[in-house]
Amino acid sequence: MHFPCGHSTMRYDTTLKQIFQAPPQRLLQLLIGQKATELLTVEFPSVNKRLPDMVTRLANGGILHLELQSDSDENMLWRMAEYRILIRQQYPDETLTQIVLYVGDKEPTLPNEVNERDFVYRYDVKDIRDIDCQHMLASPHIEENMLAILCH
């Protein structure tokens, strides 16, 4: 898009936001075939520091994001989606695999998929009790030995 001398993208965006102080009904009708009934006020607080449990490069060049979870947190789906976006921004050309390793006592009931009209997302949930602990017990690393206690 061409901007006349002295105009910036930022100023252009600000002007457009001012135009949208009321829902542009005809534009919405053209875009999606519906009118707006209410303008919602949505503000995002400053970005919080996000620290994933583990992000590692794999032997095949891909990236693995692993989160440990001990309960069935309903917000896990959105936290994982947020992590995916943040990781993809930092590593845009890498293949990304996301897994939540469930280490809780009960059966995991973590929601791990959303399938909305314009947004489809999912990640894998693995229950540590489904992993053969003998492999981790045989590891020379104490951390893996300790995780083996949670396996069957």
Task: Kindly tell me if the per-residue pLDDT of 1 is higher than 50.
Answer: no
pLDDT at 11: 65
- Confidence class for position 96, pLDDT limits 50, 70, 90: very high
Give the sheet arrangement for strand 96-102, strand by strand: 54-57, 63-69, 96-102, 124-127
Q: How far apart are CA 95 and CA 126, in angstroms?
A: 19
Q: Are 66 and 53 in contact (CB under 8 A)?
A: yes
Dihedral sign for Cα 18, 24, 28, 31, please: negative
Per-residue pLDDT, 18: 66
pLDDT in tens, 106-137: 889 999 999 999 999 999 998 888 888 888 88
Q: Are 78 and 110 in contact (CB under 8 A)?
A: no
* Tens-digit pLDDT profile for residues 62-86: 999 999 898 888 899 999 999 999 9
CA atoms lying within 13 Å on the CB side of residue 119? 7
